[in-house]
Structures are given as structure tokens and as C-alpha cells.
A = this chain, B = another copy of it.
Amino acid sequence: MSFAREMLDAAPGQIDLDLDDLTAAIEACANCSQTCTSCVDSSLAEEDVGTMVDSIAFCDDCADVCTATERLLSRPLHADRGVLHRLLRACVRECTVCAEECEKHAAHHRHHAICARVCRACAKACSDLLEDEAFAELQKLAGG
């Protein structure tokens, strides 16, 4: 259980984002970053590591994008909305390509199955946050 919501409720100022959506996105990014990091460690210990190099590379990328996104989402009183918008879109795409790659190995390795599920959940949480009123103008400009 994270303290993200408790901290948001204690923030000295108005936040123009739905706090349920924001909390969900922060926690999803935190989970995804940790799970992807762990998935790399396990992949590197598999006998058929040569078949999962793309999964390893995408998981490393995904952990870094999710860590950055989690951090900026954790500074909602100040973070520029244009940056958040672009970063969330980068995160949605990264989590999606990472999930697609890990799913290829999900039948043989449980860690890939879990990782793919957590990546999908993060893509959804970030997509949901992008539907917030605060991003409406930016989403229209970006073509959805």
C-alpha cells in the first residue's frame, strides 16, 4: 500500500487532476518500474536468455520511463501540464510495447506473464489520466 493518496490529500494547494486517477497512475508507474526491473533480473537467469533480449531491453526502458513519470506525477502542484501530457503518452506507448514483448514469453515464464499484466495496467492507468479534463486541449491537439 502506497502513501501517494495520503500525501496528495495533505498537499497545500489545489490540484487540477482527479486525485483517484492521479493516485492510480502514480501507483501503476511505481509497480511497473519495479516489476520490469525484476523481470530483467529473472530473464538474465533463464537458460534461453538469447530469445528474450528484446524483452530485457524494453523492460530496462520501461523501468526508466515509469520512474520518471511517477516522479513528475508526484509533483502535481508544480509540474508543467504540457510535459506531463507528453510524458504520459511516452509511458503509455512504452508500457504497451513492453507488454507485447513480454507476452511472447508468458507461456513459458511466469515472471513475463506478471510483467506483461503490470505493464498493461500501467498503460491503462496513464491512458485514463490522459482523459482528465486538464489534458483535454492537449489531447485534441495531439489527435487523441
Interface residues of A (CB under 8 A from B): 1-4, 6-8, 10-13, 26, 30-31, 34-35, 37-42, 44-46, 49-50, 53-54, 56-58, 60-61, 63-65, 67-68, 70-72, 74-80, 82-83, 86-87, 89-90, 93-94, 97, 109-111, 114-115, 118, 141-143
The 6 A-B pairs of least Cβ separation, nearest first, read A57-B78, A86-B90, A68-B68, A41-B75, A10-B110, A7-B38
* CB–CB B61/A75 < 8 A: yes
Known: A38-B75, A53-B49. A94 touches B83 (CB 8 A): yes
Q: Which of B71, B75, B83 contacts A97 (CB 8 A)?
A: B83
